[in-house]
Structure 1
Protein backbone atom coordinates (compact mmCIF):
# COMPACT_ATOMS: atom_id res chain seq x y z
CA UNK A 1 0.00 0.00 0.00
CA UNK A 2 1.29 3.44 -0.88
CA UNK A 3 1.42 6.26 1.63
CA UNK A 4 -2.13 7.15 2.63
CA UNK A 5 -1.27 10.63 3.92
CA UNK A 6 -1.82 12.07 0.44
CA UNK A 7 -5.09 10.24 -0.27
CA UNK A 8 -8.15 12.46 -0.54
CA UNK A 9 -10.97 10.13 0.57
CA UNK A 10 -13.65 12.50 -0.70
CA UNK A 11 -11.98 12.49 -4.12
CA UNK A 12 -11.82 8.68 -4.05
CA UNK A 13 -15.49 8.45 -3.04
CA UNK A 14 -16.64 10.96 -5.70
CA UNK A 15 -14.68 9.28 -8.47
CA UNK A 16 -16.17 5.88 -7.68
CA UNK A 17 -19.60 7.51 -7.33
CA UNK A 18 -19.22 8.82 -10.89
CA UNK A 19 -17.99 5.44 -12.15
CA UNK A 20 -21.04 3.76 -10.67
CA UNK A 21 -23.23 5.65 -13.11
CA UNK A 22 -21.10 4.40 -16.01
CA UNK A 23 -20.70 0.78 -14.97
CA UNK A 24 -23.14 -0.86 -17.35
CA UNK A 25 -22.32 -4.54 -17.16
CA UNK A 26 -20.90 -4.28 -13.66
CA UNK A 27 -18.13 -2.40 -11.94
CA UNK A 28 -15.46 -4.43 -13.74
CA UNK A 29 -16.40 -2.63 -16.97
CA UNK A 30 -14.95 0.57 -15.47
CA UNK A 31 -11.64 -1.02 -14.43
CA UNK A 32 -9.68 0.82 -17.16
CA UNK A 33 -10.92 4.16 -15.81
CA UNK A 34 -10.16 3.06 -12.25
CA UNK A 35 -6.63 2.21 -13.40
CA UNK A 36 -6.24 5.57 -15.12
CA UNK A 37 -7.36 7.39 -11.98
CA UNK A 38 -5.65 5.33 -9.25
CA UNK A 39 -2.41 4.49 -11.06
CA UNK A 40 -1.90 7.00 -13.84
CA UNK A 41 -3.38 10.20 -12.43
CA UNK A 42 -3.17 9.95 -8.62
CA UNK A 43 -0.29 7.45 -8.32
CA UNK A 44 -2.01 5.95 -5.29
CA UNK A 45 -1.30 2.42 -6.60
CA UNK A 46 1.31 0.86 -8.84
CA UNK A 47 0.39 -1.25 -11.89
CA UNK A 48 1.25 -4.38 -9.93
CA UNK A 49 -0.85 -3.38 -6.92
CA UNK A 50 -3.82 -2.56 -9.15
CA UNK A 51 -3.62 -5.85 -11.06
CA UNK A 52 -3.02 -7.87 -7.90
CA UNK A 53 -6.02 -6.23 -6.21
CA UNK A 54 -8.34 -7.29 -9.00
CA UNK A 55 -6.83 -10.78 -9.27
CA UNK A 56 -7.13 -11.36 -5.52
CA UNK A 57 -10.74 -10.21 -5.38
CA UNK A 58 -11.76 -12.21 -8.45
CA UNK A 59 -10.15 -15.36 -7.03
CA UNK A 60 -11.99 -15.01 -3.72
CA UNK A 61 -15.54 -16.29 -3.30
CA UNK A 62 -18.25 -13.67 -3.24
CA UNK A 63 -19.56 -10.94 -5.49
CA UNK A 64 -17.32 -9.65 -8.26
CA UNK A 65 -17.64 -6.09 -6.98
CA UNK A 66 -15.35 -6.92 -4.07
CA UNK A 67 -12.40 -5.84 -6.20
CA UNK A 68 -13.49 -2.24 -5.57
CA UNK A 69 -13.10 -2.76 -1.81
CA UNK A 70 -9.66 -4.30 -2.31
CA UNK A 71 -8.59 -1.36 -4.48
CA UNK A 72 -9.84 1.08 -1.83
CA UNK A 73 -8.12 -0.92 0.92
CA UNK A 74 -4.82 -0.81 -0.96
CA UNK A 75 -5.19 2.94 -1.45
CA UNK A 76 -6.11 3.96 2.11
CA UNK A 77 -6.89 0.98 4.32
CA UNK A 78 -10.34 0.51 5.83
CA UNK A 79 -11.43 4.11 5.16
CA UNK A 80 -10.37 3.74 1.51
CA UNK A 81 -12.30 0.48 1.16
CA UNK A 82 -15.37 2.14 2.65
CA UNK A 83 -15.06 5.24 0.44
CA UNK A 84 -14.65 3.20 -2.76
CA UNK A 85 -17.46 0.75 -1.97
CA UNK A 86 -19.85 3.47 -0.82
CA UNK A 87 -19.11 5.42 -3.98
CA UNK A 88 -19.66 2.51 -6.35
CA UNK A 89 -22.76 1.17 -4.54
CA UNK A 90 -24.66 4.30 -3.52
CA UNK A 91 -26.08 5.39 -6.91
CA UNK A 92 -27.23 1.95 -8.06
CA UNK A 93 -28.70 1.08 -4.66
CA UNK A 94 -30.54 4.39 -4.47
CA UNK A 95 -31.86 3.98 -8.02
CA UNK A 96 -33.10 0.45 -7.36
CA UNK A 97 -34.82 1.46 -4.10
CA UNK A 98 -36.48 4.48 -5.72
CA UNK A 99 -37.60 2.51 -8.79
CA UNK A 100 -38.95 -0.35 -6.67
CA UNK A 101 -40.91 1.97 -4.41
CA UNK A 102 -42.27 3.93 -7.39
CA UNK A 103 -43.30 0.71 -9.16
CA UNK A 104 -44.99 -0.61 -6.01
CA UNK A 105 -46.98 2.63 -5.61
CA UNK A 106 -47.95 2.59 -9.29
CA UNK A 107 -48.40 -1.16 -9.72
CA UNK A 108 -51.87 -0.68 -11.22
CA UNK A 109 -50.79 1.82 -13.88
CA UNK A 110 -50.77 0.67 -17.47
CA UNK A 111 -47.06 1.47 -17.92
CA UNK A 112 -45.90 -0.53 -14.91
CA UNK A 113 -48.15 -3.48 -15.80
CA UNK A 114 -46.87 -3.41 -19.41
CA UNK A 115 -43.25 -3.23 -18.24
CA UNK A 116 -43.75 -6.13 -15.81
CA UNK A 117 -45.53 -8.21 -18.45
CA UNK A 118 -42.77 -7.52 -20.95
CA UNK A 119 -39.98 -8.30 -18.52
CA UNK A 120 -41.43 -11.65 -17.42
CA UNK A 121 -40.57 -13.55 -20.64
CA UNK A 122 -37.18 -11.85 -20.83
CA UNK A 123 -36.37 -12.85 -17.25
CA UNK A 124 -37.59 -16.39 -17.85
CA UNK A 125 -35.51 -16.65 -21.01
CA UNK A 126 -32.37 -15.43 -19.25
CA UNK A 127 -32.96 -17.86 -16.39
CA UNK A 128 -33.44 -20.75 -18.83
CA UNK A 129 -30.29 -19.78 -20.75
CA UNK A 130 -28.30 -19.64 -17.52
CA UNK A 131 -29.74 -22.97 -16.41
CA UNK A 132 -28.83 -24.54 -19.74
CA UNK A 133 -25.25 -23.21 -19.57
CA UNK A 134 -24.85 -24.65 -16.08
CA UNK A 135 -26.50 -28.00 -16.80
CA UNK A 136 -25.19 -28.70 -20.30
CA UNK A 137 -21.72 -29.97 -19.28
CA UNK A 138 -23.34 -32.49 -16.92
CA UNK A 139 -25.87 -33.59 -19.51
CA UNK A 140 -22.97 -34.54 -21.79
CA UNK A 141 -21.55 -36.94 -19.22
CA UNK A 142 -23.45 -40.25 -19.23
CA UNK A 143 -22.76 -40.85 -15.51
CA UNK A 144 -24.40 -37.52 -14.58
CA UNK A 145 -27.11 -37.24 -17.24
CA UNK A 146 -29.95 -39.01 -15.42
CA UNK A 147 -29.31 -37.31 -12.07
CA UNK A 148 -29.04 -33.90 -13.77
CA UNK A 149 -32.34 -34.40 -15.62
CA UNK A 150 -33.98 -35.55 -12.37
CA UNK A 151 -32.67 -32.47 -10.55
CA UNK A 152 -33.96 -30.18 -13.31
CA UNK A 153 -37.38 -31.85 -13.34
CA UNK A 154 -37.61 -31.76 -9.55
CA UNK A 155 -36.69 -28.08 -9.46
CA UNK A 156 -39.27 -27.21 -12.13
CA UNK A 157 -41.98 -29.17 -10.30
CA UNK A 158 -41.15 -27.61 -6.93
CA UNK A 159 -41.15 -24.15 -8.50
CA UNK A 160 -44.50 -24.63 -10.22
CA UNK A 161 -46.34 -26.58 -7.50
CA UNK A 162 -45.07 -25.03 -4.26
CA UNK A 163 -44.12 -21.67 -2.84
CA UNK A 164 -40.79 -23.04 -1.64
CA UNK A 165 -38.10 -20.37 -1.77
CA UNK A 166 -35.54 -20.81 -4.52
CA UNK A 167 -32.84 -20.43 -1.87
CA UNK A 168 -33.83 -23.81 -0.44
CA UNK A 169 -33.72 -25.41 -3.87
CA UNK A 170 -30.24 -24.00 -4.52
CA UNK A 171 -29.14 -25.22 -1.10
CA UNK A 172 -30.59 -28.67 -1.83
CA UNK A 173 -28.82 -28.80 -5.18
CA UNK A 174 -25.58 -27.81 -3.48
CA UNK A 175 -25.96 -30.54 -0.87
CA UNK A 176 -26.69 -33.14 -3.57
CA UNK A 177 -23.64 -31.97 -5.50
CA UNK A 178 -21.43 -32.02 -2.41
CA UNK A 179 -22.57 -35.57 -1.69
CA UNK A 180 -21.71 -36.37 -5.33
CA UNK A 181 -25.29 -37.50 -5.96
CA UNK A 182 -25.60 -35.32 -9.04
Structure 2
Protein backbone atom coordinates (compact mmCIF):
# COMPACT_ATOMS: atom_id res chain seq x y z
CA UNK A 1 0.00 0.00 0.00
CA UNK A 2 1.42 3.36 -1.04
CA UNK A 3 0.74 6.09 1.47
CA UNK A 4 3.35 8.60 2.58
CA UNK A 5 1.70 8.95 5.97
CA UNK A 6 0.71 5.31 6.47
CA UNK A 7 2.57 4.93 9.78
CA UNK A 8 0.93 8.06 11.15
CA UNK A 9 -2.46 6.87 9.86
CA UNK A 10 -1.96 3.48 11.55
CA UNK A 11 -1.26 5.30 14.80
CA UNK A 12 -4.29 7.57 14.41
CA UNK A 13 -6.59 4.59 13.72
CA UNK A 14 -5.32 2.22 16.43
CA UNK A 15 -4.55 4.59 19.34
CA UNK A 16 -8.19 5.64 19.91
CA UNK A 17 -9.24 1.99 19.75
CA UNK A 18 -6.78 1.30 22.55
CA UNK A 19 -8.75 3.65 24.79
CA UNK A 20 -12.03 1.95 23.81
CA UNK A 21 -10.83 -1.54 24.74
CA UNK A 22 -12.84 -1.68 27.95
CA UNK A 23 -13.26 -5.36 28.72
CA UNK A 24 -10.24 -6.42 26.68
CA UNK A 25 -9.22 -6.54 23.07
CA UNK A 26 -12.31 -8.48 22.04
CA UNK A 27 -14.42 -5.42 22.75
CA UNK A 28 -12.91 -3.44 19.87
CA UNK A 29 -12.99 -6.11 17.15
CA UNK A 30 -16.21 -4.78 15.62
CA UNK A 31 -14.90 -1.25 15.36
CA UNK A 32 -11.49 -2.50 14.24
CA UNK A 33 -13.11 -4.50 11.43
CA UNK A 34 -15.20 -1.49 10.43
CA UNK A 35 -12.15 0.79 10.39
CA UNK A 36 -9.75 -1.40 8.42
CA UNK A 37 -12.21 -3.19 6.10
CA UNK A 38 -15.15 -0.84 5.52
CA UNK A 39 -13.67 2.64 6.00
CA UNK A 40 -10.07 2.37 4.83
CA UNK A 41 -10.25 -0.79 2.68
CA UNK A 42 -6.87 -1.92 3.97
CA UNK A 43 -8.11 -5.51 4.26
CA UNK A 44 -10.87 -7.66 2.86
CA UNK A 45 -13.32 -9.37 5.23
CA UNK A 46 -11.56 -12.67 4.53
CA UNK A 47 -8.12 -11.22 5.31
CA UNK A 48 -9.49 -9.72 8.53
CA UNK A 49 -11.00 -13.03 9.62
CA UNK A 50 -7.76 -14.85 8.72
CA UNK A 51 -5.73 -12.42 10.85
CA UNK A 52 -8.27 -12.75 13.63
CA UNK A 53 -7.90 -16.54 13.58
CA UNK A 54 -4.10 -16.31 13.65
CA UNK A 55 -4.17 -13.82 16.53
CA UNK A 56 -6.50 -16.06 18.54
CA UNK A 57 -4.31 -19.16 18.30
CA UNK A 58 -1.08 -17.28 18.92
CA UNK A 59 0.00 -16.78 22.52
CA UNK A 60 -0.59 -13.34 23.92
CA UNK A 61 -3.42 -10.83 23.86
CA UNK A 62 -6.02 -10.88 21.11
CA UNK A 63 -5.15 -7.33 20.13
CA UNK A 64 -2.03 -8.72 18.48
CA UNK A 65 -4.25 -8.76 15.40
CA UNK A 66 -3.25 -5.10 15.09
CA UNK A 67 0.41 -6.11 14.89
CA UNK A 68 -0.42 -8.45 12.01
CA UNK A 69 -2.31 -5.68 10.26
CA UNK A 70 0.54 -3.22 10.67
CA UNK A 71 3.01 -5.79 9.36
CA UNK A 72 0.76 -6.58 6.39
CA UNK A 73 0.39 -2.90 5.50
CA UNK A 74 3.84 -1.47 6.24
CA UNK A 75 6.26 -4.25 7.14
CA UNK A 76 8.21 -4.24 10.39
CA UNK A 77 7.78 -0.50 10.90
CA UNK A 78 4.01 -0.90 10.59
CA UNK A 79 4.01 -3.82 13.03
CA UNK A 80 5.97 -1.82 15.62
CA UNK A 81 3.93 1.38 15.23
CA UNK A 82 0.62 -0.51 15.33
CA UNK A 83 1.64 -2.47 18.43
CA UNK A 84 2.71 0.66 20.26
CA UNK A 85 -0.47 2.48 19.15
CA UNK A 86 -2.77 -0.27 20.47
CA UNK A 87 -0.97 -0.85 23.79
CA UNK A 88 0.56 2.49 24.87
CA UNK A 89 -2.53 4.72 25.31
CA UNK A 90 -4.50 2.20 27.38
CA UNK A 91 -1.40 1.27 29.41
CA UNK A 92 -0.74 4.91 30.27
CA UNK A 93 -4.41 5.38 31.16
CA UNK A 94 -4.26 2.38 33.50
CA UNK A 95 -1.19 3.82 35.24
CA UNK A 96 -2.94 7.16 35.79
CA UNK A 97 -6.18 5.55 36.98
CA UNK A 98 -4.28 3.13 39.27
CA UNK A 99 -2.56 6.09 40.91
CA UNK A 100 -5.88 7.79 41.65
CA UNK A 101 -7.55 4.48 42.53
CA UNK A 102 -5.03 3.65 45.24
CA UNK A 103 -4.71 7.20 46.56
CA UNK A 104 -8.48 7.33 47.33
CA UNK A 105 -9.46 3.77 48.28
CA UNK A 106 -12.94 4.58 49.61
CA UNK A 107 -14.07 7.08 46.97
CA UNK A 108 -17.65 6.74 45.74
CA UNK A 109 -16.57 7.15 42.12
CA UNK A 110 -14.76 3.80 42.25
CA UNK A 111 -17.94 1.79 42.69
CA UNK A 112 -19.74 3.88 40.09
CA UNK A 113 -16.90 3.30 37.65
CA UNK A 114 -16.89 -0.46 38.18
CA UNK A 115 -20.68 -0.82 37.89
CA UNK A 116 -20.90 1.64 35.01
CA UNK A 117 -18.18 0.10 32.88
CA UNK A 118 -19.36 -3.52 33.24
CA UNK A 119 -22.39 -3.20 30.91
CA UNK A 120 -20.34 -1.06 28.53
CA UNK A 121 -17.68 -3.78 28.29
CA UNK A 122 -20.33 -6.46 27.76
CA UNK A 123 -21.98 -4.42 25.01
CA UNK A 124 -18.68 -3.84 23.23
CA UNK A 125 -17.83 -7.55 23.35
CA UNK A 126 -21.30 -8.48 22.05
CA UNK A 127 -20.99 -5.98 19.18
CA UNK A 128 -17.65 -7.55 18.27
CA UNK A 129 -19.20 -11.01 18.27
CA UNK A 130 -21.98 -9.73 16.02
CA UNK A 131 -19.45 -8.24 13.56
CA UNK A 132 -17.34 -11.41 13.47
CA UNK A 133 -20.26 -13.81 13.06
CA UNK A 134 -21.87 -11.62 10.41
CA UNK A 135 -18.72 -11.80 8.27
CA UNK A 136 -17.88 -15.45 8.91
CA UNK A 137 -18.84 -18.01 6.30
CA UNK A 138 -20.38 -20.41 8.82
CA UNK A 139 -23.87 -18.98 8.37
CA UNK A 140 -26.62 -20.12 10.71
CA UNK A 141 -24.49 -23.05 11.89
CA UNK A 142 -21.85 -20.67 13.26
CA UNK A 143 -24.55 -18.67 15.03
CA UNK A 144 -26.05 -21.81 16.60
CA UNK A 145 -22.68 -23.13 17.74
CA UNK A 146 -21.74 -19.74 19.17
CA UNK A 147 -24.98 -19.58 21.16
CA UNK A 148 -24.64 -23.17 22.39
CA UNK A 149 -21.03 -22.62 23.47
CA UNK A 150 -21.99 -19.38 25.24
CA UNK A 151 -24.80 -21.14 27.11
CA UNK A 152 -22.47 -24.03 27.98
CA UNK A 153 -19.84 -21.61 29.24
CA UNK A 154 -22.39 -20.08 31.57
CA UNK A 155 -24.12 -23.25 32.76
CA UNK A 156 -21.46 -25.96 32.78
CA UNK A 157 -18.43 -23.82 33.63
CA UNK A 158 -16.00 -25.51 31.26
CA UNK A 159 -12.58 -24.04 30.55
CA UNK A 160 -11.92 -22.04 27.36
CA UNK A 161 -9.84 -24.77 25.73
CA UNK A 162 -12.55 -27.36 26.35
CA UNK A 163 -15.17 -24.99 24.95
CA UNK A 164 -13.06 -24.41 21.83
CA UNK A 165 -12.74 -28.15 21.25
CA UNK A 166 -16.44 -28.77 21.91
CA UNK A 167 -17.41 -25.85 19.65
CA UNK A 168 -15.13 -27.05 16.86
CA UNK A 169 -16.43 -30.62 17.03
CA UNK A 170 -20.02 -29.37 17.17
CA UNK A 171 -19.48 -27.04 14.21
CA UNK A 172 -17.83 -29.76 12.09
CA UNK A 173 -20.53 -32.26 13.04
CA UNK A 174 -23.36 -29.90 12.11
CA UNK A 175 -21.59 -28.88 8.92
CA UNK A 176 -21.23 -32.52 7.83
CA UNK A 177 -24.82 -33.35 8.83
CA UNK A 178 -26.24 -30.46 6.82
CA UNK A 179 -23.85 -30.49 3.86
Given the two structures, how large is their TM-score scaled by the length of structure 2? Answer: 0.53
Distance 1:97 1:84, change over 3 A: same
Instruction: Please say if 1:15 is aligned against 2:42.
Output: no
Instruction: Please say if 1:111 is aligned against 2:106.
Output: yes
**Aligned Cα root-mean-square deviation (Å):** 3.0
Distance (Å, rounded) in 1 between the aligned partners of 2:4 and 2:50 = 22
* Within-5 A mapping of 1:1-182: 3-5=1-3, 8-104=6-102, 106=103, 109=104, 111=106, 133-134=158-159
Shift of 1:66: 1.4
**Partner residue in 2 for 1:147:** none
Distance 1:103 1:20, change over 3 A: same
Distance (Å, rounded) in 1 between the aligned partners of 2:5 and 2:50 = 20
Distance 1:27 1:7, change over 3 A: farther
Q: Structure 2: which 5+ runs fail to align?
A: 115-156, 163-179
* Contact 1:7–1:75 (CA under 8 A) maintained in structure 2: no
SS at match of 2:60: coil
Distance (Å, rounded) in 1 between the aligned partners of 2:74 and 2:91 = 24
Structure number with the bigger relative contact order (C-alpha 8 A, sep ≥ 6) is 2
Distance (Å, rounded) in 2 between the aligned partners of 1:4 and 1:28 = 29
Q: Structure 1: which 5+ runs fail to align?
A: 120-131, 138-182
Equivalenced residue count is 117
